[in-house]
């Protein structure tokens, strides 16, 4: 049975200002390629059979007692530093709002579901490869414990699409993702741009009530400042996790940040093969604005734009205090998540942890060690000494340059030594998702409609998720 919010779905109250009712595309075919059974169970949709699933997530018939019609959300944003007032959901919409077992509000949003008033010259479609890439990225991030939207459904549509960056014609698909919120920094920017103070206040009220109740206050100025502080901490936490996971988002525009600090709007993403601060994911990011090492700075900049949008509601000095927690929150998240991925307890002192991180990541960069292999080999610290000796990069661990890192690892307590006996850690290679891995998964799908490698990768990711659970 669907676990749903009281009617109407909460976002309906904002829809007149921030969304347009739209009609989903009518696709010539619907072939179910992926359904997230674990998360379907979490929101009460596990009992849908394939026919019912396609009815709701391929044809987008409304879920019972939910939004009567999809809503394409309106927003603005800075794209590569340039403000763009012509944005909005151009190939997606908010399909439904549901609740998980704890009562947490979640959005079901689409990608590739057809044209909207914000499509501009786009066809409103998604390639099947693009859908497969998002499933892989979101699932891998969840495996690594990063706060992320979840790929919920992928249905092939029977359409042939033409794209400049893929061999064409290529197969079409429609993706559904599960997110805590689709309210973006750019949603606030649009209201500020239109001088809609009442709309800004309504957005603040909505975000506090649904996502950040701890930010509540009797007056709007304080509430807006408190909300900014909560979003600042959530964003800092997300980016700290990205940096520990070696994830490069690629397009950190302000319309690609949401108010819950959740990774979404996957585009030209990459995972690092080796530690490289200058690694750039998007071929069109010619100046490396969104390169790996610059992600913390860009996150702070995006938050500053959000703060500017809130100026009609609060004083600049107060909003500056809302931004103030960013650096400390980022450092804490980066340190905590690095320790999590290494299966180690922290030293209990942030300064000591940051000193360890500086030495560890400097060694990673200088040695050229494989990012995924290193975290796999070093899980549990000295408890994995035997695994280090058997590693494909055992020579790096025997070199003198590694000695200070090994000493620092040995000084930390392993938290989950028992997990080293799990099948995941008994293998010689970790789960990885480098660009060549993605292409190797896609090639048999494109050539022979063979999904076996993709399915095996998803099973490997689930094995890793269980082994790396907090």
| Residue from 255, 265, 353, 377 carrying the catalytic annotation | 255
In a 13 Å sphere around the CA of 447, the CA atoms on its Cβ side amount to 8
SS3 of the chain: the string is CCCECCCCCHHHHHHHHHEEECCCCCCCCCEEEEECHHHHHHCCCCCCCHHHHHHHHCCCCCCCCCCCCCEEEECCEEECCEEECCCECCCCCEEEEEECCCCCEEEEEEECCCCCCCCCCCCCCEEHHHHHHHHHHHHHHHHCCCCECEEEEEEEEEEEECCCCCCCCEEEEEEEEEECCCCEHHHHHHHHHCCCHHHHHHHHHHHHHHCCHHHCCCCHHHHHHHHHHHHHHHHHHHHHHHHHHCEECCCCCHHHCECCCCECCCCCCEECCECCCCCCCCCCCCCCCCCHHHHHHHHHHHHHHHHHHCCCCCCHHHHHHHHCCHHHHHHHHHHHHHHHHHCECCCCCHHHHHHHHHHHHHHHHHHCCEHHHHHHHCCCHHHHHHHHHHCCCHHHHHCHHHHHHHHHHHCCCECCHHHHHCHHHHCCCCCCCCHHHHHHHHHHHHHHCCCHHHHHHHHHHHHHHHHCCC
Q: Pick from 64, 59, 53, 71: which is nearest to 14 by CA?
A: 71
In a 13 Å sphere around the CA of 422, the CA atoms on its Cβ side amount to 20
Tokens of 115: 């044209």
Please state, in angstroms and rounded to a whole number, the distance separating the CA atoms of residues 248 and 50: 35
Please state, in angstroms and rounded to a whole number, the distance separating the CA atoms of residues 209 and 439: 43
Tokens of 160: 């042939």
Determine whether 450 is an active site residue.
no
Known catalytic residues?
255
């Amino acid at each position: 049975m669907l676990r749903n919010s009281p009617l109407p779905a909460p976002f309906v109250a904002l829809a007149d200002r921030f969304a347009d009712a739209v009609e989903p595309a009518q696709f010539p075919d619907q072939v179910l390629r992926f359904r997230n059974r674990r998360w379907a169970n979490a929101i009460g949709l596990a009992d849908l059979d394939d026919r019912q699933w396609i009815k709701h997530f391929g044809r987008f018939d409304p879920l019972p007692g939910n939004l009567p019609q999809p809503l394409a959300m309106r927003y603005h944003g800075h794209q590569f530093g340039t403000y763009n007032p012509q944005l909005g959901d151009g190939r997606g919409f908010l399909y439904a709002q549901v609740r998980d077992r704890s009562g947490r509000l979640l959005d079901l949003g689409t990608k590739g579901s057809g044209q909207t008033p914000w499509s501009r010259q786009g066809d409103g479609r998604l390639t099947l490869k693009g859908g497969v890439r998002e499933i892989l990225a979101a699932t891998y991030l969840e495996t690594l414990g990063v706060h992320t939207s979840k790929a919920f459904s992928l249905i092939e549509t029977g359409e042939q699409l033409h794209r400049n960056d893929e061999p064409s014609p290529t197969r079409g698909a429609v993706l559904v993702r599960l997110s805590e919120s689709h309210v973006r920094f750019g949603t606030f920017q649009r209201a500020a741009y239109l001088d809609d103070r009442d709309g800004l206040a309504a957005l603040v009220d909505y975000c506090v009530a649904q996502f950040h109740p701890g930010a509540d206050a009797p007056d709007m100025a304080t509430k807006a400042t408190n909300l900014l502080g909560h979003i600042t901490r959530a964003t800092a936490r997300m980016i700290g996790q990205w940096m520990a996971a070696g994830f490069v988002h690629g397009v950190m525009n302000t319309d690609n940040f949401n108010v819950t600090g959740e990774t979404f709007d996957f585009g030209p993403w990459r995972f690092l093969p080796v530690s490289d601060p200058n690694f750039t994911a998007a071929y069109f990011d010619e100046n490396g604005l969104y390169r790996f090492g610059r992600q913390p700075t860009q996150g702070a900049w995006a938050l500053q734009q959000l703060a500017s949008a809130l100026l009609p509601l609060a004083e600049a000095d107060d909003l500056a205090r809302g931004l103030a927690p960013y650096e400390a929150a980022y450092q804490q998240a980066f340190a905590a998540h690095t320790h999590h991925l290494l299966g180690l307890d922290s030293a209990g002192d942030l300064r000591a942890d940051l000193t360890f991180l500086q030495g560890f990541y400097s060694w990673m960069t200088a040695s050229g060690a494989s990012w995924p292999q290193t975290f796999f080999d070093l899980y549990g610290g000295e408890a994995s000494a035997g695994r280090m000796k058997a590693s494909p990069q055992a020579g790096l661990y025997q070199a003198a340059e590694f000695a200070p890192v090994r000493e620092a690892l040995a000084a930390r307590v392993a938290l989950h030594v028992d997990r080293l006996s799990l099948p995941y850690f008994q293998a010689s290679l970790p789960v990885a998702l480098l660009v060549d891995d993605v292409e190797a998964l896609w090639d048999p799908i494109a050539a022979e409609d063979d999904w076996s490698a993709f399915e095996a990768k998803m099973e490997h990711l689930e094995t890793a998720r269980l082994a790396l659970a907090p």
